[in-house]
Amino acid sequence: MSSTTDFDRVARPDRWWRSAVVYQIYPRSFQDSDGDGVGDLPGITSRLDYLAELGVDVIWLSPVYRSPQVDNGYDISDYTEIDPLFGTLADLDELIAAAHTRGIKLVMDLVVNHTSDQHAWFTESRDPSSAKRDWYFWRPARPGSEPGAPGAEPDDSQAAFAPSAWTYDPRSGQYYLGVFSPGQPDLNWENPGVRQAVYAMMRWWVERGVDGFRMDVINLISKPAELTSGRTIEPGQGSLRRVANGPRLDEFLAEMNREVGLDAQNLITVGEMPGATIEVAQRVTDPARRELNMVFTFEHVNLDQVGWNKWDLADLPLPRLKANLAQWQEGLAETGWNSLYYDNHDQPRAVSRFGDDSPEHRVNSAKTLATVLHLHKGTPYIYQGEEFGMTNAPLTQIGHYLDVEALNYHALAAAAGVSEEQILRSLARKGRDHARTPVQWDDTPYAGFTTGVPWMAVNPNYREINAEASRRDPGSVFGHFQQLIRLRHAEEVVREGRFELLLPEHEQLWVFTRTLGDRALLVIANCSSTPAELPPGLPALDGAVLVLGTHPDGATGRLAPWESRLLRLGER
């Protein structure tokens, strides 16, 4: 466990997370230390100096708990044990202490909408007479159907990673709910015993020295009345949408905050919330309500799809993306707080998705995208590899994909008659595997990730694109991220300044100001692969100073492809 001295170095003053930059680690792909091809905790500890050099304040660790790994650890079978794949509790203690020594805090992933079907709570719950039966959602077959027969599920809800959200259990002749997959049964938060068990587990981790929680799909924990009353609900609705933002969400979050002492100990809390609107986020992040510090919205990462189906691809004109981020800035300007992200372990790589990952434009588009995001108001999240411009991988056949979501989509779409070509096109654009290729540390075999054979193929572009090369080059994406982090730490206007979007309809330029008292910053970013003229109507630029740019001469009336300028405007 971390010693008191370590803890002092990472004191948590009031609202400290408003000036923090968080770095997400997906442990299985970060750094392997024992040659088994899977990243692990000692591997992370060995890379802490790199993270300190980057300058981040917090590490968010994707799940390392004991797990059958149906969904790479988002299916937990023991909340207070480490999976042997990743190491031991002693390794985690060492990581926390070593991070704290460097002034870096550590956030655990909290996956409590569901457990694994191998969790002891669920094993017990399978027995209809057990006290834990009500800890999960058990339902009979739909009226008039033979339990277990095709089509007899309580309703037609699909799971995110399986054809049905209901799995038949012959022992009791009933079905249990798993909105992600059969290996991830949903916990019944209506049951106070479930809630208290979760809070006790969270307290245990806080005592161990962690600094907060990233809460997996936390807005799904309060199931709608149709489910809790056991009535069969209308078929045909997307299962996640059906269970998002339920009636007792705020009550449960406030209870959790109180019972665990989240605010009382100034822990950082971020709730992942698919389907959360600005209105939900305003409520949940209003400090007076004492629920969460911030949420991960999905709105901006769902703009390049049609409706709730991420595989149904849509074009994304820049004005739509700008407008969405601006609406969230506006919506949470007064009371709440935003999280800022493009990348995580569930999203394709930002530089390939929103930028241009060709050799000509990769570096500048990665920098420009970073400038835009980090100059918004909120807490920025960097996903491993984003800080040196890692790209999507050349995943061209179904055999290249390992993710449960991708494989389920492939099977279902193929059965529904969608052509292989179209399926592969959707997967290549949106698949989660892109984010999960091993981190490219250097140009040695397997990119320095492992001395064994990596669990997932390394992106072949690692010889050109790797952390070591980026670190050594002062004009690199890594150097740019370092400067953005330093700026946030140094400048109150970056942290707290008012946001205003300019030129909302411009198809190439993303332009906005941040102002606080007499301080003002202007961001002008060409988010396209062709040059752009500066249009009239911008704030007066005389006396403006280039604080951070992609190109040395930041004063011309024309921006090169993916050129961006962060300017300090004269005193106002």
Return the closest-CA partner of residue 438 out of 37, 57, 24, 33: 37
Closer CB to ligand NOJ, 55 or 271, in the complex: 271
Task: Please give the span between the terminal C-alpha atoms of the chain, in angstroms, as a whole number.
Answer: 50
H or E stretch including 48?
A: helix 48-54
From the CA atom positions of the chain, what is the Rg in Å? 24
Closest separation in Å from C-beta 275 to ligand NOJ: 12
Render 544-558 in DSSP notation, one character per residue.
-EEEEESSS---SSE
Q: Name which of 136 and 180 has its Cβ closer to ligand NOJ.
A: 180
Nearest CA to 406 among 388, 387, 425? 425
| Phi (first) and psi of residue 243, to 5 degrees | -110, 10
Least distance to ligand NOJ, CB of residue 180, Å: 5
Examine the residue annotation and report whether 464 is marked as an active-site residue of this protein.
no
Q: How far is the CB of 405 from ligand NOJ (least distance, A)?
A: 7
> Catalytic residue at 272?
yes
Q: How far is the CB of 432 from ligand NOJ (least distance, A)?
A: 7
Cβ count within 10 A of residue 337: 21
Nearest position to ligand NOJ, beta carbon: 74
Pick 220 or 547: Cβ nearer ligand NOJ: 220
In the complex with ligand NOJ, the residue whose CB is nearer, 340 or 532, is 340
Residue 328 parent element (H or E): helix 318-331
CA distance 121 to 368: 47
3-class DSSP assignment, residue 513 = strand
Closest distance between ligand NOJ and the C-beta of residue 112, in Å? 10
* Token pair listed for 165: 């959200």
- By beta-carbon proximity to ligand NOJ, the closer residue of 71 and 433 is 71
Out of 57, 109, 169, 216, the active site residue is 216
Selecting among 32, 57, 169, 272, the annotated active-site residue is 272
Residues that bind ligand NOJ (CB under 6 A): 71, 74, 111, 180, 216-217, 272, 345-346
Task: In whole angstroms, give the CA distance from residue 56 to residue 488.
Answer: 11
Residue 195 backbone phi and psi in degrees, to 5: -65, -45
Distance of alpha carbon 451 from the chain centroid: 28
Whole-number minimum distance, CB 414 to ligand NOJ, in Å?
A: 21
Q: Which distant-in-sequence residues (6+ apart) come within 8 Å of 16 by Cβ?
A: 266, 268
**Choice between 346 and 387, CB closer to ligand NOJ:** 346
Active site residues: 216, 272
